[in-house]
Structure 1
């Protein structure tokens, strides 16, 4: 018996867990969005890629270690003599000393000019490091860091956009549910009116045309309900697309979307586009520094170790050689090319500064426009709610008067049409308000 009770309790718990999982709240959806949305994932990869660019530039400060293995076979006089010198195996015979004393001094030495074939294996390890680059490497490292910051802001902007779309879908679903509920209530009233009309026809107080008018209006309401239910299915498809998983039931927000309590300055502080513009301005400053590096000399050092023989690593320790050195390079004149590049960088910096100011004024204009539109929609919604209450009261009044044969069915249908029209107008206005508030929130990078 205990086992049966335990199994039953586990089944209830599992069912409750499944139900909770299938009913997705807005907060849960927003958390899923961060990890599941494919566009946000792609933006994260762009951010990681930008980090690798930083490492690639920073790595140049550590220099470069290369290993070279040469394998050759030649009877070219210069090559053969060079091979022997590199292998530390040159002898006097190589200079033609074997022919001295028996020939004229102007006679070409055969051992030097016509050597036989020689194999050559040289292993070389070389390390090169930049000591001073005129601040170019540090400038490009800073640029790459700013580019990573830019990619991070791009990711933040995509995330904010997707959060906006997800929130709007949830609030649209709530408004659709509210409208469907109101239309179903009207449909119930029409069904009651239809039955009343049939009864009145039976006793001779109504005509068949009255019933046809009721059925026509009923068909119109049913058509609207089909449209709204289709819109709900489309919203579920879109939410599933945003979350990259199947979603078939959500818990709609109970309250209307709240008006952001942020000031204009706070919105500007959070705005991603302004942050991107400010980062772009910093990049132009770093680009100017990179251009000015052309006026400085560059200094690098290197160290090299090698060994050579006619076999691979033959007598490696005996034939080893070392070289260390440094190189200073300074471009003293290039026809004014560097100066032109620096002037161009200065112009780009001034242009970017103007764009930052323009972006700020543009955002302020958007904020003012949205706030004004929200104020207008709030007035419209308050008025439509009163008009809907009046339309409901008038319809109920005309429905009662029809039963008393004081008005015609056409009068009742007209009042019901006005009632439905107000419901649809209210939904449109509420949708508009939600969209505007979420747009204002989006300007603040999703902060509310």
Structure 2
């Protein structure tokens, strides 16, 4: 029998490569890496999680920016001007409190007959200098809900990023479990191949003995030797699968492929507590991906309020303090206070189109949420059924192994007594190898389906896993090392 991991297991192990990030982590040769330590390493080095944390930092900055918009905006400015423009020059002199009657051309006024004379001092002033310093404060009094919309949007995006962080962490735990358990699954298949080789070698000895006694023909010995060589090839393939699974674990952890790892005990995922009939409702409330979509919808509501705010008047207050001097100084002081109302009565539909666009974006998110909720409900039910089915399969496969072992023992004895055929012996051994492989896959599916169920419920944490007592010596530290196979 060809001992190989099913395609879905191999693909699952290889897809963990998307989590790869090279790190400087080094593990001592004698140190044991248990599942909790593996998850901790993966969480520290995972690029997806770092990206989510950056999103949270952006959202926090957005909240601070929105809150800061409610406070007065204070600016300080300083400038110097030199001009001979008639209007500006006269205005600068007024600001400097230095305007005189002569600036109006008083020296050219000689009575009523001078009313038509254009005064030179007023129309052709000399160049004037002005040093201006200004402190100005502006405060929004009413924005039609725009600032509140910005704040709602920023806070909702932060909560969405936090939910995304939880989802990313649980996904990392799932992938780490997939890779960690994959190593033990591959080693269990390697153990099946080792038992198959042991049986094949025993079969060759038995056939050779019977041939010497004249009980069987030489073709039986050749057939047994071919079987033995075929099983050796299968054992090499199983060893390669173990190396592949160990490489996948290195990739998940971000560890160099040549770095030796000594695995701790296997882990078992526990079934979640509670009533299965209520799990779908719990998943809708606790699944972080669903929560992230809900917060994104709340952020979309904030965006709608921001767009609608342009329909309403914008009111603000202003206070300003100025100094204007012909040379650097702060002698001529003035202040200005006031309030202003701006209200756009007609903008060609720009505001309405912006509102419509924001509403459409919210509708898109609501549709995504509905689809995700429908998919999640199906995922919870499917994972629960598959977890139960896998547990039942374990019991069935254990009985199948016991039956296949007994059948192989009887057939081998019959052949040794000369009343059976080699075809029967090899067929019984093939059935035993298959039963053992099926048992391994059933046990692996119990773990992964339980993990998928907890992932859907938003409850896949380290507390959901328990170390299993080893059945033999601890696992070897290198990719080529021997390890106790899963029973």
Scaled by the length of structure 2, the TM-score of the pair is 0.78
Deviates more, 1:369-378 or 1:198-207: 198-207
1:325 aligns with 2:334: no
Equivalents in 1 of 2:414, 2:86: separation in Å? 123
Q: 1:46 to 1:344 in 2, by over 3 A?
A: closer
* Cα contact 2:153–2:301 (8 A) shared by 1: no
Q: 1:63 to 1:371 in 2, by over 3 A?
A: same
* Cα contact 1:300–1:326 (8 A) shared by 2: yes
What's the CA shift for 1:54? 1.0
* Counterparts of residues 39-438 of structure 1 (less than 5 Å): 39-101=48-110, 104-246=114-256, 248-251=260-263, 253-254=265-266, 256-262=268-274, 263=276, 264=279, 265-311=281-327, 314-316=328-330, 318-332=331-345, 338=351, 356-438=369-451
Q: Which residue of 1 aligns with 2:10?
A: none
What's the CA shift for 1:130? 1.0
User: How many aligned residue pairs are there?
Assistant: 428
Q: Which runs of 5+ in 1 are unaligned?
A: 1-16
For residue 121 of structure 1, give the secondary structure of its aligned residue in structure 2.
strand
What's the CA shift for 1:351? 6.7
For residue 70 of structure 2, give the secondary structure of its aligned residue in structure 1.
helix
Deviates more, 1:400-409 or 1:321-330: 400-409
Q: Which runs of 5+ in 2 are unaligned?
A: 1-26, 465-487
What's the CA shift for 1:398? 2.5
* Cα contact 2:190–2:242 (8 A) shared by 1: no
For residue 40 of structure 1, give the secondary structure of its aligned residue in structure 2.
helix
1:55-81 deviation line (CA, Å, top 9, x unaligned):
111111112112222233332222322
Q: Which has the higher helix share?
A: 1
What's the CA shift for 1:146? 0.4
Q: Which residue of 2 aligns with 1:12?
A: none
Equivalents in 2 of 1:225, 1:79: separation in Å? 96
Q: 1:232 to 1:446 in 2, by over 3 A?
A: farther
What's the CA shift for 1:161? 1.1
Q: Which residue of 2 aligns with 1:37?
A: 46
Equivalents in 1 of 2:105, 2:241: separation in Å? 99
What's the CA shift for 1:165? 0.8
Equivalents in 1 of 2:164, 2:319: separation in Å? 44
Equivalents in 2 of 1:240, 1:386: separation in Å? 36
* Cα contact 1:174–1:253 (8 A) shared by 2: no
For residue 61 of structure 1, give the secondary structure of its aligned residue in structure 2.
coil
* Cα contact 1:236–1:248 (8 A) shared by 2: no
For residue 66 of structure 1, give the secondary structure of its aligned residue in structure 2.
strand
1:93-149 deviation line (CA, Å, top 9, x unaligned):
322223223983322222222223333332222111112222321221011000011
Q: 1:345 to 1:211 in 2, by over 3 A?
A: same
Q: 1:255 to 1:310 in 2, by over 3 A?
A: closer
* Cα contact 2:29–2:260 (8 A) shared by 1: no
